[in-house]
Amino acid sequence: MIELTKRDQAVLEAVVTDYIQTGEPVGSRTISKRYGLKVSPATIRNVMADLEEMGFLQQPHTSAGRVPTEKGLRFYLDTLVQFRALENQERALIREAFRGKEQDVKELLQITSQILSSFCRQAGVVLWPRLTMARLRHIEFIRLRPNQIMVILISKSGLVHHSVLVWEEDIPQNELDKYSRYVNELLEDVPLGDVKRRILEEMRKEKVLFDQLYTRALEITTRAFQANLEKSELFIEGQTNLLNNPEFADVDRLRRLLHAFEDKSRIIRLLDMTLKTSSGVRIILGTESELKELQEISLISSPYRRGDTLLGVLGVIGPVRMDYSRIIPVVEFTAGLLSQILEEPEEV
């Protein structure tokens, strides 16, 4: 494992800081003048050459200065970055943006993506997770019209999902009420990812094999869960903010990025990678995403929850050259505040 001296780290931090601010390759004279390292430009130039040899910096052009590699940025983020604390006024503005939106979860998540986009001047994203991560509190079957059934799923965390099924037979509401009672008794507090297995176990029992009520109830439930379990809603705001970054001035790069945003499944896959993080901020840099279409951007994300239940993840998407020291505190504070609102809406 490569160890960097304090001087190495000071030069690397200076290069990253200047590059994030300007987007331009950084030279030794710039470092000497702006960052007070108290060593000559020649010494800084030698250190930068060593850092390049170790893979922390690279030189885009022979006569240009140097820019950090992903390896250099990762070391900076893991070891050197100094966060700018949010000012009281910024905290107050974020709180005010949420006010009055606490009762409608969908609207609350939409507002959250707008807040992240506005404060960070990049794209704000919020993922409403798949039901597989929740436990069932209640299920209701409602007859909308002949051969059409609405299935309402309510999780223990209070999130509501619904779907409309077209059924081969017209089932009266009193029958659907019986199905609801049976399924609620069977599946109460079952992790929704385990529902299919529990239903299959139940369908093997003799009473189900010989009772049409049980069979129909389980078949409707199975189809409803197939429609809902893998569905994950994504809220995105501020994609056009990315146009202000010089990294995306190239038409081909911009086209690839916009295509990735149009196909939300790619963004959802990227955010899914971060759901394994139990707490705190996670940063995925460029090629770390393992998604070819998204290797020119970075994601700063944090989970949000209701009590002990993980609900989803929110974050900011932008170029690899983002102002991490400013954006990370915004993401962290917003995730904590959203979790607080979801837990105790009347107190926020």
- Mean pLDDT for the stretch of residues 213-241: 77
Residue ranges of domains in the chain, CATH in brackets: 6-80 (1.10.10.10), 88-129+232-347 (3.30.450.40), 134-228 (3.30.390.60)
| 249, containing H or E segment | none
- Residue 324 and residue 193: Cα distance in Å, rounded? 35
How far is C-alpha 328 from the geometric centre of its chain's CA atoms? 13
**pLDDT at residue 7, as a whole number:** 92
**pLDDT at residue 268, as a whole number:** 83
| pLDDT > 60? residue 44 | yes
The predicted-structure confidence for 65-124, as pLDDT tens digits, reads as follows 899 999 999 999 999 998 888 999 999 999 999 887 666 777 888 999 999 999 999 999
Q: Is 135 helix (H, G, I), strand (E, B) or coil?
A: strand
Q: Measuring CA to CA, how many Å separate 250 from each of 237, 313, 331?
A: 22, 30, 28
| pLDDT > 70? residue 348 | no
- Return the percentage of the chain with pLDDT > 90, whole number: 33
Q: Which two tokens stand for residue 207?
A: 């009473």
**pLDDT at residue 345, as a whole number:** 46
User: Which range is least confidently modeled, 19-23, 131-135, 281-285, 313-317?
Assistant: 131-135
Q: Would you report the helix, strand and coil content of the chain in percent, each value rounded to 5? A: 55, 20, 25
The predicted-structure confidence for 176-190, as pLDDT tens digits, reads as follows 998 898 888 888 877
Output phi, psi for 147, to 5 deg: 65, 20
Alpha-helical segments (H) within the chain: 6-22, 28-34, 41-53, 70-75, 88-98, 105-120, 173-187, 195-203, 206-209, 212-228, 251-262, 264-274, 324-343
- Residue 28 and residue 48: Cα distance in Å, rounded? 8
The candidate with the shortest Cα–Cα distance to 261, out of 312, 206, 318, is 318
The predicted-structure confidence for 296-321, as pLDDT tens digits, reads as follows 789 999 999 877 777 889 999 998 88
| pLDDT > 60? residue 280 | yes
pTM: 0.78
Q: Is 34 helix (H, G, I), strand (E, B) or coil?
A: helix
